[in-house]
Structure 1
Amino acid sequence: MSHARADLAPDAALSRGEMEDLQREIADVALFEDDFSFDPSALSNPLEATASGAEPPIVVGIDQSFLTNDDGDQDRALSAVVAMRGGEVIERVHAVTPLEIPYIPGLLSFREGAPILAALEELSVDPDLLLFDGSGRIHFRQAGIATHMGVVRDVPSVGVAKSLLCGTPVEDTDGLPAGTTIGIESNARVDAPDGTLLGYAVQTRQYDSPNRYINPLYVSPGHRVGPETAADIVLELASSYKLPEPVRLADQYADEAKKSLGE
């Protein structure tokens, strides 16, 4: 994989203001609508792709873990990448790189982006879709890690976050039935006109009990995917777990790779 927009790659040497300006530039470049060649229905039903004579799309899940030094401080990121086609894992790779800056809300891609790009370089296959454990357009400057990495690579991408960074749900999201989607619109915390559809709260699973419930995922387009399609993709790829399968397996693989390094 090559960097289509290497000039927009994360640079930890930038000041905070320069990072935020770069995110605004990335948001201007990003395409928050469908622009891909595969059939999303083939993600969960590869027989449809086979029947049409096409290969099922390659979906890549990406997650991060962190390694510590002798003082117990996090000093390296382990980026785990799992590539799937037709519901089967076809490749797993990871990369370990130094962490150059601390965690700063809204600037996650400058801390974790370089490690992720390094891991993607290890792939021998070309992804049709990237799924990130993190935000896309649901971001203060509409450029979360899924948007930043998607634009740099120019690959369709989707952000799948476990918590809501910003924006306002158009309805209550507590105790939603599985399969429900609730729009997330921009508010005063987002560099977008109020009411802009940023993504969806997506309920992939729910307990069959009135006394406990599973919170939704917050799904948003990263690049070259529209918000509705992003939500549909996550529902298509969720199995018996809350997270879509490529992201869940990347999370699992990150733990395996970390243990293999003695952490």
Structure 2
Amino acid sequence: MCAPPPRPDLAPDPELDRAAMEALQREIAAAAVFVDEFTFDREPLTNPLAASATADGDPPTVVGIDQSFLTNEAGDQDRALSAVVAVRGGEVIERVAAVTDLETPYIPGLLSFREGGAILAALAELSVEPDLFLFDGSGRIHFRQAGIATHIGVVRDVPSIGVAKSLLCGTPREETANLSTGTRVGIEANAKVDAPEGTLLGYAVQTRQYDSPNRYINPLYVSPGHRVGPETAADIALALASSYKLPEPVRLADSYATEAKRDYVDS
């Protein structure tokens, strides 16, 4: 199967009304590919000891993406800051950030229209070619199967994975409390999702856990965004969360978002 072309015509438009936004998300989901369809070698990502690399001899370039927000004098959030960190072979090779005005309110399930402009602006500043996007946000685990990882992944036609801290929709196939490290539990579509009930949307992935019976760490909710299947998405997220709960590219983007926000305010 040939990879689909980029779709700038599907970029999030904050001027759309809610019905049009939801209709666009359904179009995004129809254009998305929720199976493995990428050219990079996944071994350097899922197996740190692997010596394999991409065809040009370099490990895959993984780009972590996270958001922060700036406030006006009244204390209201009025701008989105997108932080993008490119990692190759465990080393940071580039960091960029962009700020755009917020034109839509916070509405669960429509975050790509609120934050997507800043993300696309930051990605436009990136000089390296990404092999994979990792988002702090949802992919297919979404009411219309088109979370921010899917939306931006389709627009840029880059393999993408969504890594969310909470479950937006769908039903876990098993209990997700107090899972042991490395455990994954399938998340399937329910009546809230535009997909046949039982469709595998992604996984609850336990990347870290306390060695204590009295407290536990919640899992991450990992789902394919575009051109990545659910099993590969879970494998990569788990393998890249080497020292912390979040996969390292996303954790670095989160840290850079805080740094860039501080620098922007100070300037």
Q: TM-score, normalised by structure 2?
A: 0.95
SS at match of 1:131: strand
* Structure 2 match to 1:125: 128
Instruction: Select which of 174, 177, 180 maps to 1:174.
Output: 177
Cα deviation digits, residues 80-99 of structure 1 (max 9, x gap): 00000000000000001101
* Structure 1 match to 2:137: 134
* Structure 1 match to 2:215: 212
* Alpha-carbon RMSD: 1.4
- 1:109 maps onto 2:117 in alignment: no
Residue 41 of structure 2 contacts residue 53 of structure 2 at CA under 8 Å; is this kept in 1?
Answer: no
In the alignment, the residues of structure 1 paired with residue 116 and residue 49 of structure 2 have an alpha-carbon distance, to the nearest angstrom, of 31
Which runs of no fewer than 5 residues in structure 1 stay unpaired? none
- 1:250 maps onto 2:253 in alignment: yes
Residue 66 of structure 2 contacts residue 82 of structure 2 at CA under 8 Å; is this kept in 1?
Answer: yes
SS at match of 1:14: coil
* Structure 1 match to 2:156: 153
State the Cα distance separating 1:11 from its structure 2 match. 0.3
Distance 1:50 1:18, change over 3 A: closer
Residue 53 of structure 2 contacts residue 60 of structure 2 at CA under 8 Å; is this kept in 1?
Answer: no
- 1:14 maps onto 2:26 in alignment: no
Query: Identity over the aligned pairs, expressed in percent?
Result: 75
Residue 54 of structure 2 contacts residue 60 of structure 2 at CA under 8 Å; is this kept in 1?
Answer: no
Residue 41 of structure 2 contacts residue 54 of structure 2 at CA under 8 Å; is this kept in 1?
Answer: no
Deviates more, 1:40-49 or 1:80-89: 40-49
Distance 1:186 1:165, change over 3 A: same
Deviates more, 1:33-42 or 1:9-18: 33-42
* Structure 1 match to 2:202: 199
State the Cα distance separating 1:49 from its structure 2 match. 2.3
In the alignment, the residues of structure 2 paired with residue 25 and residue 93 of structure 1 have an alpha-carbon distance, to the nearest angstrom, of 29
Distance 1:146 1:13, change over 3 A: same
Which runs of no fewer than 5 residues in structure 2 stay unpaired? none
- 1:63 maps onto 2:43 in alignment: no
Instruction: Select which of 170, 176, 189 maps to 1:186.
Output: 189
Distance 1:154 1:51, change over 3 A: closer
Cα deviation digits, residues 43-95 of structure 1 (max 9, x gap): 25275225987210000000000000000000001100000000000000000
Number of matched residues? 261
In the alignment, the residues of structure 2 paired with residue 42 and residue 8 of structure 1 have an alpha-carbon distance, to the nearest angstrom, of 32
* Structure 2 match to 1:4: 6
Give the letter for the 1:183 counterpart.
G
State the Cα distance separating 1:37 from its structure 2 match. 1.3
Cα deviation digits, residues 133-156 of structure 1 (max 9, x gap): 000000000000000000000000
* Structure 1 match to 2:40: 38
In the alignment, the residues of structure 2 paired with residue 238 and residue 52 of structure 1 have an alpha-carbon distance, to the nearest angstrom, of 25
Runs of 4+ in structure 1 displaced over 4 angstroms? 50-53
In the alignment, the residues of structure 2 paired with residue 65 and residue 209 of structure 1 have an alpha-carbon distance, to the nearest angstrom, of 33
